[in-house]
Amino acid sequence: MKRGGFTTVELLVTLFVASLFVISGYQLYSVVNSRAANTRMMSDASNIGYEVLRKEGSVYNDSGIPACNTTVSTHPTQSVTRSDLRLPSPSIRIRRCVPFSGVPIILVTVTVSYDSPLKEVVHATYISEN
């Protein structure tokens, strides 16, 4: 005589499959959460870099700016300190160089570095010398 209902094996298989769905759902949640945090940090760094470029990038007047084709280490570097950053280990640098000799144009590059391993966001623009 056959009884109605499920056998123990059927219940165990169902619980095993259900636990696989729960585990894969949690892994998907972890990946999405991690990528969202990385995207937020990159967005914050980009916004800060653009803001620094707009505010402090054009405030400079010096005739001793090297040509852009020289080594990067000889370019004047200005470090900017901000207290409102939500980034881990942030560093903001502004570099200036002259891309074309005889033309009163300066290339201004703002680099925002953050996190470990190091990630960077770079914004650049051209300004005319005053």
Structural contact between residues 110 and 94, judged by C-beta atoms closer than 8 angstroms: yes
pLDDT value at position 60? Answer: 67
Q: Within a domain: residue 19? A: yes
Q: Within a domain: residue 64? A: yes
- Number of domains the chain contains: 1
Q: Within a domain: residue 29? A: yes
Over the chain (130 residues), the average pLDDT of each successive run of 10 is: 80 96 96 91 92 81 72 71 82 88 87 91 86
Query: How many Å from the N-terminal Cα to the C-terminal Cα in the chain?
Result: 99
Which residue range(s) make up the domain with 118? 8-128
Q: Within a domain: residue 1? A: no
Backbone angles phi, psi at 57, to 5 degrees: -70, -35
Q: Within a domain: residue 70? A: yes
pLDDT value at position 61? Answer: 63
pLDDT value at position 71? Answer: 66
Q: Within a domain: residue 2? A: no
